[in-house]
């Protein structure tokens, strides 16, 4: 997993790290029991403070995404199915909000959006 820090982001560095690790967990890139990068190693590769990296990992542990194993590091915890579902719904809502705004700007009716969504859903459903 590659973590990229942006100096242009309004989010603090530890939040950027947390978000990217959570995204990797929700996408399946990181699976339960996978080891996270070492705190020192990640801090060194990102050229940031160990304290900042530690804050991100401790927050991930508090939020139930990771567990600290003394002497071994941090590992990904299995996610509660409801939490993963809520995260997916939140991301979908963000994308649909963007689509609705674009439709309203271009005077596209909600019935046309519903039809388009239905067609896209069926098309993708047929691919699986």
Give the integer Cα–Cα distance in Å for 29 and 44. 22
pLDDT at 98: 94
Whether residue 1 lies inside any domain: the answer is no
32 has a pLDDT exceeding 80: yes
Q: Which domain holds residue 120?
A: 81-127
The pTM for the full model equals 0.67
Asked if residue 47 and residue 68 are part of one domain, the reply reads yes
Contact (Cβ atoms closer than 8 angstroms) between residue 53 and residue 39 = yes
Whether residue 5 lies inside any domain: the answer is no
| Neighbouring residues of 40: CB distance < 8 A, sequence distance ≥ 6 | 50, 53
128 has a pLDDT exceeding 70: no
Number of domains forming the structure of the chain? 2
pLDDT at 87: 77
Whether residue 94 lies inside any domain: the answer is yes
Whether residue 6 lies inside any domain: the answer is no
């Amino acid at each position: 997993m590659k973590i990229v820090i942006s100096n242009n982001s309004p989010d603090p560095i530890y939040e950027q790290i947390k978000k990217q690790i959570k995204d990797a967990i929700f996408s399946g890139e990181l699976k339960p029991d996978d080891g996270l990068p070492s705190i020192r190693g990640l801090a060194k590769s990102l050229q940031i403070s160990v304290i900042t990296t530690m804050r991100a990992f401790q927050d991930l542990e508090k939020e139930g995404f990771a567990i600290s194993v003394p002497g071994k590091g941090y590992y990904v915890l299995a996610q509660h199915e409801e939490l993963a579902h809520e995260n997916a719904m939140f991301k979908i809502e963000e994308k649909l909000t963007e689509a609705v705004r674009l439709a309203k700007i271009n005077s596209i009716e909600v019935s046309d959006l519903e039809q388009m969504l239905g067609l896209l859903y069926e098309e993708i459903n047929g691919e699986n």
